[in-house]
């Protein structure tokens, strides 16, 4: 009995042990299953950027591609978040939109584990448009090092950094600073990719060779023949410099142009001639209907040498200080008041805006524009200062004077004007006056003004303008004090100062001839000051008769302009229709003497140009109606299609070709339409005008 009891007890203990073991196994197995089912998030990355940064232009978009590395069955889904929606936004699919200039962070966050994320720094600014390496191919010896240098375009890119990569690290490695180390024989491609996510990159093919068993004697270095530099000197001439002397003629050069960086070179220039003094630097002159324009991409080729090089004809840079006056009534809406901020993108700041006035900077094609809006709240005079530097390095400081007025008060502000000392008459409002009734009378306060100019200035009969004759007055700055009186309320008055600057005038003189070498009577012209911010003579153009010689009673072909300020000018002369033209560059205007005229023989002749045109004399057809016989006062001639204008009267200057022209004329009160058919073939000719029945 006792033995049986002991056995029963032993069985019970054994059963308890087995049950406990089973329970333990039941509890531990599910833990393994749960781990396998859920897994873990190891990392979150963005795969379509070379680095954790991105630069976008305002308004542009970019979609991130994310990669989530997990174990097991963990979710690979992510969410996106921005640190600053005003700078850049991101949607649920990873699409980033650049909103305004600045920097924001975009977070790519794992849904399964929010601690796992990738951060991308987004800059709204100027992305890289091109990456260029100092070498495109290179040969190295095992164990040697060399440094590749990457240059990004434009120079004002928000990020200039690049990411370096080797296509085969066993052949050659590259550091983050572009240092390449040759490891073993073979070929490898080293790539520099813009770090800003623009996708722009450049590569260098590197061939690694084994070191020679015996070091040869270093040969005398031989400079390879190449094009060292290309520079646009003026609108019709470029300077090409080679690495060493080589004999070339105009026929050896091809010159091309394009407007956009990624476009093809389709415009080919005609090279008229080249000059050189050392066979190293050549001045290459072009001719034809198109000159080098600012902003164009230019390529020069020398096919027989298999050489070519490109350049960009850059805009000139300036340091400009200027001022402008704007006026608005209290409560009025400010609109259509805009200021271009130079060329391309710009850094800018503005201060001192009147209460109620705001501004917004927008991007339009290749420029930024500051536009003002709002409504001024309080009468007064306010000076705003706008400072900006554009993409090519020009610096500007613009003072904006805001005159805010109402009907209760009269506001008078000083004014600055000026003229060349050849100017007979300058008619304008003498000072700034606003408020009150809006109608004013001006008086010169003679006792407070500079006496040297008083005899040459007067208020007009109706009292609302001043007329100043600067001719004959010495150059200088003159002060004229002005009293302003409200025409409808004489109790409202004010005073201001007109500062009038008189500047010495300069002249340019030349002669214009036809294809026979004879003087041309009438032509079109333009005079462009190289300083586009010149105050008194910037761009002058029009139709002009040459000087008429009273002794010979003929036009002598002289071009003369004395209404210029000191400076350097480009002059273009063309026939009346603009079919052919010649430009003369970098003419320095000379000081004009008092009493000087275009016929003075001691004046310097600065140019002598020939247009490929011939003189055409127009006479009345003998078969025309009797009432128009002898008529010569033809109006401006036009081609029959009406798209081009020609000279008026009985003389035309035309290049070779066939022309069908028409014009009007009135004879004894009757209006007629005259026609003339002209064929020019290398010589002067006479054409006959007729009237269609």
- Mean pLDDT for 315-331 is 92
Does the N-terminal peptide bond of residue 154 adopt cis geometry, omega within 30 degrees of 0? yes
Q: Residues 3-38: pLDDT tens digits?
A: 444 445 545 544 544 444 444 343 333 333 333 347
Locus of tokens 């057809």: 621
Residues in Cβ contact with 218 at an 8 Å cutoff, skipping those fewer than 6 apart: none
Residues in Cβ contact with 174 at an 8 Å cutoff, skipping those fewer than 6 apart: 148, 164, 165, 166, 180, 181, 190
Q: Residues 332-381: pLDDT tens digits?
A: 999 889 999 998 899 999 999 999 999 999 988 778 999 999 999 999 99
The pLDDT value recorded for residue 693 is 62
Q: Is 521 left (phi over 0), alpha (psi -120 to 50) or beta?
A: alpha
The pLDDT value recorded for residue 19 is 47
Q: Cα–Cα distance between 417 and 598 in angstroms, integer?
A: 28
Residues in Cβ contact with 344 at an 8 Å cutoff, skipping those fewer than 6 apart: 154, 156, 366, 367, 368, 390, 391, 392
The proportion of the chain whose per-residue pLDDT surpasses 90, expressed as a percent, equals 69
Nearest to 78 by CA among 69, 86, 96, 60: 69
* CA 137 vs CA 133, 145, 210, 303: distances in Å: 10, 14, 17, 22
Q: Cα–Cα distance between 320 and 326 in angstroms, integer?
A: 19
User: What is the separation of C-alpha 32 from the centre of its chain, rounded to a whole number of angstroms?
Assistant: 68
Q: Strands 307-312 and 297-302, how do they pair?
A: antiparallel
The CATH code for residues 42-124 is 2.60.40.1080
What is the DSSP secondary-structure string of 579-636? Answer: SSEEEEEEEEPEEPPTT--TT-TTS---EEEE-S-EEEEEEE-TTS-GGGTT------
State the pTM of this model: 0.61
Q: Cα–Cα distance between 609 and 521 in angstroms, integer?
A: 14
Locus of tokens 């204008």: 645
Q: Poorest-confidence range of 26-30, 146-150, 155-159? A: 26-30
Residue that wins the pLDDT comparison between 13 and 282: 282
The pLDDT value recorded for residue 23 is 42
Fold of 130-209: Immunoglobulin-like (2.60.40)
How many other CB atoms are found less than 10 A from the CB of residue 270?
A: 12
Q: Cα–Cα distance between 690 and 693 in angstroms, integer?
A: 9
Fold of 506-610: Immunoglobulin-like (2.60.40)
- Mean pLDDT for 80-107 is 93
Nearest to 614 by CA among 659, 566, 672, 663: 659
Q: What is the CA radius of gyration of the chain?
A: 40
The pLDDT value recorded for residue 215 is 63
Q: Cα–Cα distance between 644 and 661 in angstroms, integer?
A: 9
The CATH code for residues 410-503 is 2.60.40.10
* Cα dihedral 147, 152, 157, 158 sign: negative
Q: Cα–Cα distance between 286 and 293 in angstroms, integer?
A: 13
Locus of tokens 């306060």: 445
Nearest to 386 by CA among 373, 377, 398, 394: 398
The pLDDT value recorded for residue 289 is 63
The pLDDT value recorded for residue 214 is 61
The pLDDT value recorded for residue 29 is 36
Q: Residues 40-59: pLDDT tens digits?
A: 988 999 898 888 988 989 99
Locus of tokens 């002898």: 630
Nearest to 588 by CA among 504, 506, 503, 502: 506
* CA 647 vs CA 23, 165, 514, 616: distances in Å: 114, 67, 15, 11
Q: Residues 494-550: pLDDT tens digits?
A: 999 999 999 999 999 999 999 999 999 889 999 999 888 888 887 787 777 777 777
- Architecture in CATH of 319-405: Sandwich (2.60)
Locus of tokens 């023949």: 225
Q: Tell me: pLDDT of 228 over 90.
A: yes
Residues written for the chain: 693
Which residues, listed in sequence order, are joined to residue 151 by a DSSP beta bridge? Answer: 132
* C-beta of residue 53 within 8 angstroms of C-beta of residue 83: no
For 200, the token pair is 């722009």
Residue that wins the pLDDT comparison between 33 and 234: 234
Domain boundaries defined on the chain: 1-36, 42-124, 130-209, 227-312, 319-405, 410-503, 506-610, 614-691
Q: What is the mean pLDDT of the chain?
A: 89
The pLDDT value recorded for residue 25 is 40
The pLDDT value recorded for residue 220 is 75
The answer to whether 227-312 and 319-405 have equal CATH topology is yes
* C-beta of residue 302 within 8 angstroms of C-beta of residue 252: yes
- Mean pLDDT for 554-579 is 90
Virtual torsion, Cα 320, 321, 327, 328, nearest 10 deg: 70
What band does 219 get if pLDDT is binned at 50, 70 and 90?
A: confident
> Does domain 227-312 match CATH 2.60.40.1220?
yes
Q: Cα–Cα distance between 643 and 252 in angstroms, integer?
A: 38
């Amino acid at each position: 009995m006792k033995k049986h009891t002991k056995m029963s007890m032993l069985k019970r203990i054994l059963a308890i042990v087995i049950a406990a073991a089973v329970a333990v196994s039941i509890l531990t197995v599910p833990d393994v299953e749960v781990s396998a089912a859920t897994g873990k998030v190891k990392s979150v990355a963005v795969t379509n950027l070379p680095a954790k940064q991105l630069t976008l232009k305002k308004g542009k978009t970019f979609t991130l591609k994310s990669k989530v590395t997990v174990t097991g069955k963990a979710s690979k889904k992510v969410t996106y978040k921005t640190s600053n929606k005003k700078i850049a936004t991101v949607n649920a699919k990873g699409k980033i939109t650049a909103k305004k200039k600045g920097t924001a962070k975009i977070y790519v966050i794992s849904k399964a584990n929010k601690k796992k994320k990738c951060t991308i720094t987004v800059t709204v600014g100027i992305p890289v448009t091109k990456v260029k390496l100092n070498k495109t191919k290179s040969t190295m010896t095992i164990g040697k090092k060399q440094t590749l240098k990457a240059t990004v375009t434009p120079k004002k890119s928000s990020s200039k950094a690049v990411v370096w990569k080797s296509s085969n690290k066993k052949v050659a490695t590259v550091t983050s600073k572009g240092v390449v180390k040759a490891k073993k024989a073979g070929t490898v491609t080293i790539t520099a990719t813009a770090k800003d996510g623009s996708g722009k990159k450049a590569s260098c093919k590197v061939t690694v060779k084994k070191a020679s068993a015996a070091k040869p004697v270093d040969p005398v270095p031989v400079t390879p023949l190449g094009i060292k530099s290309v520079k646009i000197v003026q609108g019709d001439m470029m300077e090409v410099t080679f690495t060493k002397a080589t004999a070339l003629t105009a026929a050896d050069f091809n010159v091309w142009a394009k407007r956009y960086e990624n476009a093809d070179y389709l415009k080919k220039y005609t090279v008229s001639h080249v000059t050189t003094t050392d066979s190293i630097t050549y001045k290459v002159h072009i001719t034809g209907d198109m000159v080098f324009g600012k902003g164009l991409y230019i390529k020069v080729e020398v096919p027989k040498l298999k050489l070519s090089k490109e350049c960009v004809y850059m805009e000139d840079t300036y340091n400009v200080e200027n001022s402008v006056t704007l006026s608005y009534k209290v409560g009025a809406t400010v609109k259509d008041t805009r200021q271009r901020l130079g060329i391309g993108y710009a850094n800018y700041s503005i201060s001192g805006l009147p209460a109620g006035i705001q501004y917004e900077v927008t991007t339009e094609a290749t420029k930024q524009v500051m536009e003002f809006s709002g409504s001024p709240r309080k009468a007064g005079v306010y000076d705003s200062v706008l400072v900006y530097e554009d993409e090519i390095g020009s610096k500007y400081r613009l003072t904006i004077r805001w005159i805010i007025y109402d009907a209760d008060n009269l506001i008078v502000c000083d004014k600055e004007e000026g003229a060349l000392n050849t100017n007979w008459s300058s008619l304008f409002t003498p000072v700034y006056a606003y408020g009150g009734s809006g109608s004013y009378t001006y008086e010169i306060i003679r006792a407070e003004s500079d006496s040297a100019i008083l005899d040459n200035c007067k208020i007009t009969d109706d009292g609302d303008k001043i007329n100043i004759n600067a001719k004959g007055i010495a150059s200088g700055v003159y002060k004229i004090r002005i009293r302003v009186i409200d025409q409808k309320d004489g109790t409202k008055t004010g005073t201001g100062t007109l500062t009038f600057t008189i500047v010495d005038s300069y002249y340019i003189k030349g002669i214009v001839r036809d294809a026979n070498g004879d003087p041309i009577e009438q032509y079109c012209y333009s005079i462009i000051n190289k300083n586009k911010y010149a105050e008194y003579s910037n761009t002058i153009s029009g139709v002009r008769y040459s000087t008429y010689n009273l002794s010979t009673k003929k036009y002598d072909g002289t071009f003369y302009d004395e209404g210029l300020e000191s400076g350097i000018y480009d002059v273009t002369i063309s026939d009346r229709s603009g079919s052919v033209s010649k430009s003369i560059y970098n003419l320095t205007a000379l000081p004009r003497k008092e009493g000087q005229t275009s016929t003075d023989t001691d004046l310097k002749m600065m140019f002598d140009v020939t247009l490929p045109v011939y003189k055409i004399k127009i006479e009345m057809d003998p078969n025309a109606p009797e009432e128009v016989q002898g008529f010569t006062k033809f109006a401006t001639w036009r081609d029959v299609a009406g798209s081009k204008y020609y000279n008026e009267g009985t003389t035309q200057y035309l290049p070779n070709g066939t022309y069908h022209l028409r014009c009007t004329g009135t004879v004894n009160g009757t209006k007629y339409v005259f026609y003339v058919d002209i064929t020019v073939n290398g010589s002067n000719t006479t054409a006959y005008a007729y009237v269609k029945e």
